[in-house]
Amino acid sequence: MPNIVEIDDFSSPELDVFARLTEAQLRNRLEPEKGIFIAESPKVIALALDAGCRPVSLLVERGQLAGQAQPIISRCGDIPVYTADNDLLAGLTGFPLSQGVLCAMRRPPLPEVEELCAAARRIAVLEDIMDSTNVGAIFRSAAALNIDAVLVTPSCCDPLLRRAVRVSMGTIFQVPWTRIGSEAAQWPQPGMERLRSMGFRTVAMALSDSAVGIDDPRLMAEEKLAIVLGTEGSGLSHRTIAACDYTARIPMAHNVDSLNVAAASAVAFWQLGIR
């Protein structure tokens, strides 16, 4: 039976996860393995549940209790379902609820890189990408264009930030991912060595006079390829580019030098993916 709780006290500590804790606090509350993330909208929550994520509590606009939130509520057992009118909830969270429902969920444990990539042929590596919208969009492209796994470097934006999850349309729960190292010093050199030990060749997506075209036959012929994408503005570090087996660029017209990293990822995944 659902445990419906009418909100009558916005200061209740049970609502902190939806209203007062920062993303960093959600991630590290108590111990990292007990951290929490927020999934937004019935579709995204359903994909997270399908992936085995454990729900902690729901925040549901009253009008959606018997509407599109109902199938989600029925899947979540007896966890608390906090509810109020939409205007009140927007005042609590600071933003309108997407389709009337949020779910606080336990962060799943991340697998080891070697376990994640054991059967992979095409993976993406996100180096220090800080914009959560770009990270979410890259995951959506990775899911749509058949990338086997995504690795994020220690300083990269957390893929389970609420906005990244929302922009990904839940594909963050469909594409296997993990961090390649827990400290900044573990990338690029130690991380590159791990990739090579698994048989991956690496291609840096970067602007360089020595870069090959993204349609270079050598790239297409690689059995296992890691596509390395850099942060907005400055792109990949010089050390990373130097450590990669290839550097590639997307041909541009009209004197445009480059695409946004999310757009570039879609082009790279389409061209270099296994079809």
pLDDT single digits (tens) 139-155: 999 999 999 999 999 99
Alpha helices in the chain (DSSP H): 16-19, 23-28, 42-50, 70-75, 86-93, 113-116, 132-144, 162-167, 189-197, 217-221, 238-243, 261-272
Quick one: average pLDDT of 148-165?
95
Residue 30: band (very low, low, confident or very high) from pLDDT cuts 50, 70, 90: very low
Mean of the per-residue pLDDT values of the chain: 90
**How many Cα atoms occupy the beta-carbon half-sphere of 111 within 13 Å?**
12
pLDDT tens-digit readout, 67-113: 899 999 999 999 999 988 777 776 666 666 667 899 999 999 999 99
**DSSP for 145-212, written as a single string:** TT--EEEE-TTSPPTTSHHHHHHTTTGGGTS-EEES-SSGGGTTHHHHHHHHHTT-EEEEE---TTPE
pLDDT confidence of residue 155: 92
User: What tokens appear for 111 in the block?
Assistant: 């697998």
Which residue in this structure is represented by tokens 């199938």?
Answer: 71
Residues 6+ apart with CB under 8 A from 11: none
Higher per-residue confidence, 165 vs 95: 165
Residue 249 has pLDDT above 90, yes or no: yes
49 φ, ψ to 5°? -65, -40
pLDDT confidence of residue 237: 94
User: CA torsion sign, 257 to 263 to 269 to 271?
Assistant: negative
**Cβ count near 75 (within 10 Å):** 12
Task: Give the percent of the chain with pLDDT over 70.
Answer: 94
pLDDT tens-digit readout, 118-140: 999 999 999 999 999 999 999 99
Higher per-residue confidence, 233 vs 92: 233
Cα 81 to Cα 11, 60, 170: the distances in Å are 16, 7, 21
pLDDT confidence of residue 96: 63
How far is it, in rounded angstroms, from Cα 79 to Cα 58? Answer: 8
pLDDT confidence of residue 92: 66
pLDDT tens-digit readout, 66-78: 889 999 999 999 9
